[in-house]
Amino acid sequence: MFTFGQFRGVCFGLCLGALTACAGQGATPLIPTGAVWKFLDNGTDQGTAWQGNLFDDSGWSQGAAQLGYGDGDEATMVGFGPDSANKFITTYFRRLFLVPSTNDILSLKARILQDDGAVVYLNGTEVFRGNLPTGAIASSTRAILSVENQVVDFEIPPALLSSGPNVLAVEMHQQSPVSADISFDFSLVAEFNPPPGNLPPTVTLTWPPDGAEFVVQSHIRIEAVTQDPDGYANKVEFFADDVKLGEQQVLFVQAPPPNEPIQFEFTWQNAPVGQYRLSARTRDERGAIGISAPVNITVRATTPGDSDNDGVPDERDRCAGTVAGAVVNAAGCSIAQLCPCEGPWDSHRAYVRSVVERAWEFHQAGLISAAQRRETIAQAMASNCGRQPGEGDVVLLFPVPQTPTQLQAEGFRFCVIAPAGSGCLIESSTDLREWSPLETLTLTGSETEKVISPATEASRFYRVQLQP
């Protein structure tokens, strides 16, 4: 157990911009920053039973960290009693978390945000005491000093962890009943010794972006990618505030090569109002685990004056009646509204080109992911919108929008749009009469879009043709 005089280090900087226990490779978060905690804020003395695994906390309140009052940065407000001049000294917090196996856990690294003092227990054993006196602790025990948002790193003996359910319990104490604020957050990271010859996989949430907002009852698309340096991870579980939303598994006839990125998609249907921390978890073919960094999103209620609930007020919404859940731009228009199938279009090619332009606009504005952009273009290619009698397959060479900096770093980039599995020939010319081959490429059986950066010159003309 670490007491006030035994801190391994008091940190006033944050690891990677978040209050997460600093750890090296092979680390797995057991309790992430911003996790949901049970808490009791009624001023009663809970004795010692509340510290253990068998205590019934079903009657306690719960909320996401940061928990507290008085600073304005809390995700969940806790109470301090009926008298602001005589606030409760102690607030209690508990969190249940699961550890599939304690095998190969080398260390447990913890980080606490405390204001003012705290005692931490793992499965009923005290493992940390900060800014509180030695000896027995009661609900009336005051912190030694008044501190503001103190961040402390410490380690916990891994032997105290159990395979299966575990409980982390914290009591936060004020220095004075007139203290202006209380703050609490916590993270716990396990460092593993990977099985011999087996490195852990990684999983990354690629969509939605951090801070994204959605309207209640939206169907939220969540995308992830896994990579494993010495194998593959073909199943991903998706979570919101540690509550499992669902999973997706990709099956292979033949195992992919090591470190091959594997894409996953999941749709969270009818998401309720609230703030959520999305995360993803994966496991490779030999059991090593990977957990993603969290992504924070908000699902908001419908807004008066926004009749189609697309997030754009009616007074500046140029596209009324947007379908529920559709992604819209700042003018309140979805790609389907900007490029209606019914036209008028003089050709299927014209319709597809319009969709391609809008899809890239939405992608560059951060409204849709690259996978959503490709899917939108593929759906346009597969449709009959604007198709005229006798019109053949569409093939387009679309210049990717680039900033001057991107242009200098990447060269000219083209988006080749063609039927899936097609072979394409890119040609260049200086006079639109004589054309020279520049590059040949083949789209896979699932591709209708491929972004390329051939060696190009601004003074030339370029075109693409389907190869027989």
Residue 343 and residue 408 share a domain: no
For the chain, how many structural domains are there in total? 4
To which residue do tokens 């051939």 refer? 454
The beta-strand segments (E) located in 230-383 are: 235-240, 243-249, 262-268, 274-283, 289-291, 295-300
pLDDT at residue 72, as a whole number:
87
Question: Of 192, 215, 233, which one is at a domain's C-terminal end?
Answer: 192
Element at 374 (helix H, strand E)? helix 370-382
On whether residue 309 sits in a domain, the answer given is no
Q: Are residues 154 and 224 in the same domain?
A: no
Q: Are residues 337 and 453 in the same domain?
A: no
pLDDT value, residue 21: 47
Domain limit, last residue, from 382, 413, 430: 382
CATH number where 240 lies: 2.60.40.10
Asked if residue 176 and residue 235 are part of one domain, the reply reads: no
State which H helix or E strand residue 88 sits in. none
b/e burial code for range 282-294 (CB count within 10 A of at least 16 → b): bbbeeebbbbbbb
Q: DSSP code of 400?
A: P
Tell whether 161 and 226 lie within a shared domain.
Answer: no
Query: Do 35 and 182 belong to one domain?
Result: yes
| Helix (H), strand (E) at residue 359 | helix 348-364
Show the tokens assigned to 117: 């003092």
Residue 389 domain flag: no
Return the pLDDT at 454. Answer: 66
Give domain status of residue 391, yes or no: no
Backbone angles phi, psi at 371, to 5 degrees: -65, -40
Question: Are residue 124 and residue 267 in the same domain, yes or no?
Answer: no
Does residue 324 form part of some domain? yes
Determine, yes or no, domain membership for 351: yes
**Same structural domain for residues 164 and 230?**
no
Task: Write the burial class of residue 63 (CB in 10 Å: 0-12 exposed, 13-18 middle, 19+ buried).
Answer: middle
Does the residue 307 lie in any domain?
no
Q: Which residues of the chain have pLDDT under 50?
A: 1-25
Q: The domain that contains 14 carries what CATH number? A: 2.60.120.260
Do 42 and 96 lie in one domain? The reply is yes
The reported pLDDT for the residue numbered 15 is 35
Residue 279 belongs to some domain of the structure: yes
Domain boundary at 300, 326, 357, which?
300
pLDDT tens-digit readout, 142-180: 999 998 888 888 889 999 999 999 999 999 999 999 998
Helix (H, G, I), strand (E, B), or coil: what is residue 304? coil
pLDDT (0 to 100) of residue 194: 63
- Co-location of 64 and 186 in the same domain: yes
pTM for this predicted structure = 0.48
Domain co-membership, 173 together with 252: no
Asked if 88 and 184 sit in the same domain, the reply is yes
pLDDT for res 200: 87
Domain that holds residue 419: 396-466
Decide the pairing of beta strands 243-249 and 235-240.
antiparallel
Name the helix (H) or strand (E) containing 150.
strand 150-156
Q: d(Cα 401, Cα 413) in Å, to the nearest integer?
A: 8
In a domain, 390, yes or no: no
